[in-house]
Amino acid sequence: MHLSPKAVVLVLACVAQTSFGREATPDEGAAAHSPTRLDLAQASEAAPSSLLADLLARSQELSRSGKAVEAYELLLAAEDTYIGTLEFDYALGRAALEAGHPDKATLAFTRVLALDPTHAGASIDMGRAYLALGDFARARTMFQNLLALDPPPEVRAQLQAFLDLTNAPRVGTPRGLAYQGFLALMAGRSSNVNQSPSQSVIYVPALGANFLLPGQNVKIPDEFAGIAGGIDLSRSLDNTYSLIFGGQFLERRNFHETDFDLGGVNAYLGIAAAMGRHAWKLQGFGGRDWLGARPSRDLGGISLDYVGALNPSTQFLATAQGGQLRYVPEDIKVWDANYTIVGAGAARKIDERSTVFAMLSTGYQSDKGGSPSGDKTALGLRVGGEMIFGPRIKLTAMAAGEWGQYDKFDTGFEVERRDTRQAYELDTQYWLDRAWSLRLGLSHALQRSNIPIYEYTRTEWLLRLRREFQ
Structural domains of the chain sorted by starting position, each given as residue range(s) with its CATH number in brackets:
26-176 (1.25.40.10), 178-469 (2.40.160.60)
Cβ proximity of 197 and 218 under 8 Å: yes
pLDDT at residue 293, rounded to an integer: 85
Cβ proximity of 431 and 392 under 8 Å: yes
Amino acid at 448: R
The secondary element (H helix, E strand) that includes residue 416 is strand 415-431
Q: Where are the beta strands (DSSP E) in 141-261?
A: 177-190, 201-204, 209-212, 222-236, 241-254
Cβ proximity of 428 and 462 under 8 Å: no
**What is the band of 132 on the pLDDT scale with cuts at 50, 70, 90?**
confident
Judged against a pLDDT cut of 80, whether residue 213 lies above it is answered with no
Judged against a pLDDT cut of 80, whether residue 20 lies above it is answered with no
pLDDT at residue 9, rounded to an integer: 25
User: How far is the C-alpha of 454 from the C-alpha of 11, rounded, in Å?
Assistant: 17
User: How far is the C-alpha of 241 from the C-alpha of 344, rounded, in Å?
Assistant: 23
* C-alpha pair distances (Å), 8 with each of 149, 319, 453: 44, 20, 14
pLDDT at residue 434, rounded to an integer: 67
List the one residue out of 91, 82, 7 whose CA is nearest residue 52: 82
Q: How many CB atoms lie within 10 A of CB 236?
A: 27
| Model pTM score | 0.66
Percent of the chain with pLDDT over 70: 82
Judged against a pLDDT cut of 60, whether residue 21 lies above it is answered with no
Cβ proximity of 379 and 362 under 8 Å: yes
Amino acid at 144: Q
Cβ proximity of 115 and 86 under 8 Å: yes
